[in-house]
Amino acid sequence: MDISVVIPLWNEDESLRELYEWIERVMKENGFTYEVIFANDGSTDNSQKVIEELHREHPDTVHGVEFRRNYGKSPALYCGFEMAKGDVVITMDADLQDSPDEIPALYRMIKEDGYDMVSGYKQNRSKGDPLSKTIPTKLFNATARRVSGIHNLHDFNCGLKAYRLDVVKHIEVYGEMHRYIPYLVKNAGYSKIGEKPVHHQKRQHGVSKFMGWNRFVNGYLDLMSLWFLSTFGMKPMHVFGFIGSLMFFAGFLAACAVGGVKLYCLSAGIKAPLVADTPWFYIALTMMILGTQLFVAGFLGELISRTSQERNKYQINKTI
């Protein structure tokens, strides 16, 4: 099979049939063998009904997975990737803002140009989206480029992306990490990541699921989590143990200094306050306690990182 198109969705029943017919036309015009996988993230409208109707009409090309409740875009992508079988996997949003006409060029960049992943770049976004969406997006992308080291991407969060099949099988998309799939791909050892300017269309049906500045704040926190996990996820003792050791020894030296001053005063016949009456004693004691706790946290982190079970477990209602 040439292409698997993975479409995560939540309450997009008005767009699904039009989107599939558009994809079908593009695939037939280019002679691709393909499948379309709808990952229904617990929709409460008629999305699942439309998907099942499309599956009955096109049983060989339309497949899907339905969650019992809403988990988020990342879990939907993860399950879609699990089902994908095509040599090239294309992801796109279900709201008709991503154009299926971009699929042939994305496919060629993977198959002919040798890219591991190609991300879409919506150059004309500022013309069609409100400032509450475009300004957080620009700030988010600038931060993501700096932290990830992937400087050639302008739009990390574009839903229209293409991957080699083995790439999606070797990355774990969870929580809300779909924003950082290029970073996940890089951390998995796939370094050839490209970008393609794509046409960005205005939403035709329904309402945007984007929450503006709230998404930006959450995205920043997720980026910091991903940076920490990619750097120290398999070696938590290297950060917790190091900081804990520094704090413990700093507290120990401070306690020795307090004790040394007290002994000097006693030997010199100088009246000195009790050790427990000086604030430095409590500061030193607190540092030693916190240092010990951080060191133990490093041990616990090492145990958890080696014994944690599969994170991506979701209540699936139906697979077709």
User: What is the distance in angstroms between the CA of the first residue and the CA of the last residue of the chain?
Assistant: 18
* Residue showing tokens 């036309």: 25
Q: Is residue 153 part of a domain?
A: yes
Give the domain CATH number at 219: 3.90.550.10
Range of the domain at 135: 3-232
The number of distinct structural domains making up the chain is 2
| pLDDT number for residue 188 | 87
**Domain co-membership, 266 together with 129:** no
**Domain co-membership, 300 together with 252:** yes
Instruction: Say what the alpha-carbon torsion angle 14, 158, 41, 130 is, to the nearest 10 degrees.
Output: -60
Question: Which of the listed residues 207, 232, 257 is the one where a domain comes to its end?
Answer: 232
Mean pLDDT, the chain cut into blocks of 10 residues (320 residues total): 96 95 97 98 95 97 95 93 97 94 97 96 66 70 83 88 96 83 90 91 61 59 69 71 87 87 80 76 89 84 63 69
14/34 Cα distance (integer angstroms): 23
51/246 Cα distance (integer angstroms): 58
Q: Is residue 317 part of a domain?
A: no
Token pair listed for 156:
């990390």
Question: Which of the listed residues 210, 232, 254 is the one where a domain comes to its end?
Answer: 232
Provide the whole-model pTM: 0.73
Burial label for 66, CB within 10 Å (0-12, 13-18, 19+), is: buried
| pLDDT number for residue 2 | 97
| pLDDT number for residue 142 | 82
